[in-house]
Structure 1
Amino acid sequence: MKKGTHMNRGTNRGQGSKKRAHIRVAHERKMPNGKIVYIKAVIVNKELLDFEKLSIKERVKYCLYFSAPINNVEYSNPKPTTQTLLFGTAFSGIGAPEWALKQLGIEHTNEFMVEIDKNARKTYLANFTPKQAYEDITKIDYNTLNDIDIFFFGSPCQSFSMQGKRGGLEDTRGTLVYNGLQIIKAKQPKYFVYENVKGMLTHDKGNTFKVIKAAFDELNYKIQYKVLNAKNYGSPQNRERLFIVGIRKDINQTFEFPQPLSYVPCVNNIIKMDEPITDNLLLDTTFIVPKVPNPKTDIKIVAEFSNLKYASDKRICSTEGISPCLTKGGSKTRFYDTKHKLYRRLSEKELSRIQGFGDEYVFPVANTHIKEQLGNSMAVQVMQSLLTNLVPHLLPNIQEETLIQAA
């Protein structure tokens, strides 16, 4: 931890004054000495966020993303909850919901996962220990799956034939979403969270979404849906995805999607100065042409490759802005790193931070697979925000303690 870092606005440096602020414990960190501590506050752009003006939910979300060093902080362990959330996932990828639950400190049990990609499954199982693990969702006896409270899934966006049909579960037959719906039908979880590309809303002239909505209603779930951009929930990335949240109709509970944070992080927030930049990340500057960025956009394009054809390949973005969406093909996006003053690509570890997995997550696969897996994944930060609103009663009962300003 750096000494002399002053963390409250309006306090003169070096005066030795102390300021008390009630900050909710929100992020677990393992220190070099092996001790587990719980961070109550973070520094963003060298300043402490004015947490007293933020809601509890916003405090939690900021702390979960930004884990900068803090100075002279009193820590306390959270009180454990008595409830355990039983969950299952399909099209599990590398486990964004699982990682979000861990980061939130929600007591949970991983009842089952389903993932057909062998490399994604290898990564998943290196980080989680589900009670049941399956490969092919089409070959499962859904009734043999363990009971769950919540089900997370996503699926490829496929068309349905609407001729003579009115929408519903049977109209999804022959598509992978049908198999996910069959799990809901068999296990009847209290909640589900479904993620897909925002194009599903207009896919096949809106017929695809019409069928899926009718299927959820037939399964006895009330739903809310919304397109969320990860940049508004702590990820320095322009990633828009459709989320459908379902609550079983017999449960007396409402749900509202989380409000965007008032602060959009930039790529510089995930770049660490003490990490060496390897040669394979550096760009050949021969054909790089500087460009004046648009100050009104979050993605700040500061240069282009003059010898490339497609805009997505040509652009070079500033790390003072956000990243374009990470894709399954691996991020082709290049950056001008304003911290190191270099044109370069981001490392796999930095891409992992953008998606919210951080440095503790294990990737036992080649770098090309890491990029693919991160591009396919949900953003962990968005899942944290959704879960904070969906199951607030399961969040740790954490005492508000005091943060003491360094002398």
Structure 2
Amino acid sequence: MGELFSGPGGMAMGARRAADAVAGVDLRHAWANDYDLDTCRTYHHNILVPEYGQRAVVVESSDALPLGGGGVVHQNVHDLDIEALSPIDGFAFGFPCNDYSLVGEWKGLNGEYGPLYTYGVKVLATKRPKWFVAENVSGLRGANEGEAFKQILEHLQEPAEGLRYRLVPHLYSFDEYDVPQRRQRIVIVGIRDDLDTIFRVPSPEIYADRDVSVMTALTAPRIEVGAPNHEYARQSQDVIDRLSYLLPGENAFSPRALEIMPKRLQIKTRTTISTTYKRLEASKPAYTVTGGGGGGSHMYHWSQNRALTNRERARLQSFPDSFVFHGLKDSVRKQVGMAVPVKGAEAIFTALFKSFADIDYPAIEANVDVNKMLASRRSRAA
């Protein structure tokens, strides 16, 4: 398996867990790439070192990858020599979502990050893997009036002349797949068209009895004192006072809170983002963990007047406490927020590996009709 835009390793850890659970699957991480050095170090420590030991490396060029895999390339994808990467059977890429996110300017293909999916297409065209898994935000569907998603699907379906993939795009809500967070993401699974394997979307009913509440995620078991990435943020007295007026589920603009909150603590902005100083609700999944943002965007405890620690955010992304993130607090926050939830990835890869192993599993119909979308695009082009 190879990865572009690998992040800290949520997709990779999910794939590894799935491989361990499905008989007959031997998964090896051939190579990975990310532009951020802390992220590469995190991936190296948690994904590659357990597998390759001292042979695992972080390098600055794909030419320097060791034979037999075990390397992560710290390099901007624009400069990456894709031709030099070793052959792979499977490919994963969570191409950057900045220009497709509903929270941003929604530039889509016209933004700085929008066209980066094409590097994934180039990997498919040159390495011809048997399968791929691509992930992006739910806003991808509507960017550029819906045309961006159609173009991406078209390029993934036929990345090169004579090479086609059967695509199964689906909008997953990861709280339905044992992740304690309401995080909706488009995941596209592709299988090379010359293979008989058929992928189906795994049914969330498999996970229906799982407790995905915030309280369970953060307290069962309790995080040990001194756990990695569990440093508490220094809260100003104004932040502490502001939070004291908010009930679980409320934010800085909730009408009830504004009626009793002193004027000096009220947020004066033209836009009112619903997650600003929003408290979590102990009995429900968290709202979406993000990787950046200023004051009021750090996610807030349901009863304590403080922001969550990075370790707590990592639990909401279903990373185990043994997963150590490298870098300073802001860097770790970014890595956690940009990652694919481990258990969400595990559910998808388990279904994928069972498909190749010809093992049946409960499945549902995909909620994105790829044939209809591509037909619409071709009709418009004509």
CA distance in 2, matches of 1:184, 1:101: 19
Report Cα offsets for 1:277-301 as digits up to 9, x if no partner.
976477854332254869xxxxxx9
Q: Offset of 1:359 from its aligned partner?
A: 0.8
The aligned counterpart of 1:176 is 116
- Give SS of 1:108's match: coil
Report Cα offsets for 1:316-356 as digits up to 9, x if no partner.
2222222110111165221224xxxx333222222112112
Report percent identity of matched pairs.
24
CA distance in 1, matches of 2:109, 2:223: 52
Q: Contact 2:197/2:355 (CA < 8 Å) preserved in 1?
A: no
Say yes or no: does 1:215 pair with 2:155.
Answer: yes
The aligned counterpart of 1:49 is none
CA distance in 2, matches of 1:346, 1:242: 26
Q: Offset of 1:259 from its aligned partner?
A: 1.6
CA distance in 1, matches of 2:224, 2:38: 27
Q: Rate the CA distance shift 1:247–1:266 in 2: closer, same or farther, 3 A.
A: same
Q: Contact 2:199/2:355 (CA < 8 Å) preserved in 1?
A: no
CA distance in 2, matches of 1:160, 1:231: 29
- Give SS of 1:103's match: helix
Q: Offset of 1:221 from its aligned partner?
A: 0.5
TM-score by length of 2: 0.68
Report Cα offsets for 1:84-131 as digits up to 9, x if no partner.
xxx000001101121113333253211111101122112112223353
Q: Contact 2:140/2:149 (CA < 8 Å) preserved in 1?
A: yes
C-alpha RMSD of the superposition: 3.0
CA distance in 2, matches of 1:274, 1:207: 45
Compare CA radii of gyration and give the structure with the larger one: 1
Matches within 5 A, 1:376-387: 376-387=338-349
Report Cα offsets for 1:13-67 as digits up to 9, x if no partner.
xxxxxxxxxxxxxxxxxxxxxxxxxxxxxxxxxxxxxxxxxxxxxxxxxxxxxxx
The aligned counterpart of 1:392 is 354
Q: Rate the CA distance shift 1:318–1:137 in 2: closer, same or farther, 3 A.
A: same
Report Cα offsets for 1:251-271 as digits up to 9, x if no partner.
101111122231451111222
CA distance in 2, matches of 1:226, 1:205: 19
The aligned counterpart of 2:183 is 239
2:8 pairs with one of 56, 75, 94: 94
- Give SS of 1:227's match: strand
Q: Contact 2:298/2:308 (CA < 8 Å) preserved in 1?
A: no
Count matched residues.
289
Letter in 2 for 1:133: V
2:298 pairs with one of 315, 321, 332: 332
- Give SS of 2:8's match: coil
Q: Rate the CA distance shift 1:177–1:358 in 2: closer, same or farther, 3 A.
A: same
Q: Offset of 1:394 from its aligned partner?
A: 7.3
1:266 pairs with one of 209, 213, 230: 213
Letter in 2 for 1:262: A
Letter in 2 for 1:131: G
The aligned counterpart of 1:114 is 33
- Give SS of 2:276's match: helix
Q: Offset of 1:205 from its aligned partner?
A: 0.7
Letter in 2 for 1:347: T
The aligned counterpart of 2:365 is none
Letter in 2 for 1:265: V
Q: Offset of 1:229 from its aligned partner?
A: 1.3
Letter in 1 for 2:281: S
The aligned counterpart of 2:362 is none
Say yes or no: does 1:186 pair with 2:142.
Answer: no
CA distance in 2, matches of 1:230, 1:283: 33
Report Cα offsets for 1:135-154 as digits up to 9, x if no partner.
12222332321111110002
2:193 pairs with one of 240, 249, 273: 249
Q: Contact 1:100/1:384 (CA < 8 Å) preserved in 2?
A: yes
Q: Offset of 1:230 from its aligned partner?
A: 1.4
Say yes or no: does 1:197 pair with 2:137.
Answer: yes
Q: Rate the CA distance shift 1:182–1:289 in 2: closer, same or farther, 3 A.
A: same
CA distance in 2, matches of 1:150, 1:308: 51
The aligned counterpart of 1:314 is 277
- Give SS of 2:335's match: helix
CA distance in 2, matches of 1:184, 1:203: 23
The aligned counterpart of 1:297 is none
- Give SS of 2:93's match: strand
The aligned counterpart of 1:52 is none
- Give SS of 2:86's match: coil
Q: Contact 2:29/2:70 (CA < 8 Å) preserved in 1?
A: yes
1:365 pairs with one of 317, 322, 327: 327
Report Cα offsets for 1:219-269 as digits up to 9, x if no partner.
301101111111111111111111111010011011111222314511112
The aligned counterpart of 1:152 is 92
Letter in 1 for 2:7: G
* Contiguous gaps of at least 5 residues in structure 1: 1-86, 162-172, 295-300, 398-407
Q: Contact 1:93/1:376 (CA < 8 Å) preserved in 2?
A: yes
The aligned counterpart of 2:317 is 355
Q: Offset of 1:175 from its aligned partner?
A: 2.3
Letter in 1 for 2:277: K
